[in-house]
Amino acid sequence: MGNKAFFLGFLIGFALILSLEFASAQMVPAIFVFGDSLVDVGNNNKLPVSVAKANFPHNGIDFPTKKATGRFSNGKNAADFLAQKVGLPTSPAYLSVSRKSTSSFMTGASFASGGAGIFNGTDRTLGQSIPLTKQVGYYESVYDNLIQQQGLSGAQKSLSKSLFAIVIGSNDILDYSGSSDLQKESTPQQYVDSMRLHASGARKFVFAGIGPIGCIPAQRIKNQTDHGCNEGSNLMAVSYNKGLNSMLRELKSNLTAISYSYFDTYSLLLNIIQNPATYGFAEAEAACCGRGKLNAQIPCLPVAKYCPSRKDHVFWDLYHPTEATASILVDAIFDGPKQYAFPMNVRQLVTV
C-alpha cells in the first residue's frame, strides 16, 4: 500500500513538474494569425466552393499524422513553427472550430486562407478564399467573445501580450503580374489600413515581408531560356516591402503603444535560393512535388510525383516552401539579427 502511495505521489509530482515546465515555456498568452496559404492550417478545407485546398496527398506526408491537413506543405508550416517557439499549440483554424466559444481560442486562432490577398478579388483564378478584411472581421467576433468571458480589461490585458502575425501580399502581386485587366493597385497603406486591430486589443505585431516570388517554380517556368527568376515580380515585391516598412514606421510614430517585428523574407529566402548548400539544400529551383518542367507545370496533386528527400528541396510545390525551409525562416524571425528581423526579432518583441 505504501509503495502504491509512493508511486501515485511520484506520478502526480512528475505531472506537476511537466506542467510547470510547459507554463514557463509559454512566452505569450496567444497567437492570432492572418494571411494566405503560407500559414493556412486548414481554413480552406471548410470553404465549400474553394479549389485552393491542400486536403489531399501528397501534402502532409511529413506531418506527424502523415496525412494532409490543409497545409500547403509536406509537413508543418511557418504558423506551426512560430507557435512552437513561444510554447503554444498551433492556433486552430477559425473555421474548423465548430463552436465559436471563447475557450476555443484562448491560445489564439488562425484566420489565414490559401489564395487570400489584401483585396477581395485576388484569388479570382483559384476560387474562394478569405480575404484579409474578412479575416479581421472574424477576429473582431473572437474579440467580442473574449470580452464576454474575461471582461474588457481582462481581455485587453491578455491581447496586449499576445502576438498578431500577418503573412499576406504575394497573391496580390502574382495576380497583377499575370493579368492586364486588374486596375487596382495593392499599396502598403491599404495593407496597414485593413488591419483594424489596434482598437481591438492588439499591441504586438509580426509582419512578414513578401519573398522573392519571381523565384518560385511557377514563375521560373515562364522563362523558357534558363528558368531564371522573374525579375519583374521580384521588383514588385521589393517595392512593396519598402512601402510597407515606411508605413509601419509611420504607424509606430502615431500609435506609440504598439510594437512590431518586420521580417525581411525577401533577403533571407533569396540568400537560401542563391546559396542552397549553405543551408543544407541540394535543389532550389524545382519543386519537390508536381510534374513537368521543374515539377511546376502540374500542381502537387495525388497523381504527381514527389522527391524522396524533402529536406533537400527549398520548394515543396510550385508555390510553397518545404517544411525545412519554413523552419529556417521562422528561426530567423524569432532569433535573427537586425539584418533580417527589425527593429527587433520576435524573442525581443514578446518581452516588450
List the catalytic residues: 37, 317, 320
- Cα 14 to its chain centre, rounded Å, is 35
For residue 306, what is its C-alpha cell? 514527389
Output phi, psi for 170, to 5 deg.
Answer: -60, -40
Q: How far apart are CA 135 and CA 131, in angstroms?
A: 6
User: Are the C-beta atoms of residues 163 and 139 closer than 8 Å to each other?
Assistant: no
Tell me what percent of the chain is helix, strand and coil, each rounded to the nearest 5: 45, 10, 40
- Listed in order, strand segments (DSSP E) in the chain are 31-35, 108-110, 163-167, 204-208, 259-263, 283-287, 289-290, 305-306, 313-315, 341-342
Give the CB-side neighbour count of residue 334, counting CA atoms within 13 A: 17
Distances (CA, A) of 253 to 121, 163, 258, 292: 32, 20, 9, 49
Cross-strand pairs, 167: 35
Task: Tell the residue number behind the cell numbers 511529413, with chain if given.
Answer: 62
For residue 263, give the 3-state DSSP assignment.
strand
Output phi, psi for 45, to 5 deg.
Answer: -60, -25
Give the CB-side neighbour count of residue 63, counting CA atoms within 13 A: 23
Task: Tell the residue number behind the cell numbers 501580450, with chain if given.
Answer: 161
User: Are the C-beta atoms of residues 77 and 326 closer than 8 Å to each other?
Assistant: yes
Q: Which helix (H) or strand (E) holds 164?
A: strand 163-167
DSSP state letters, 296-343: -SB-S-TTSEE-S-GGGEEESSSS-B-HHHHHHHHHHHHH--TTTEES
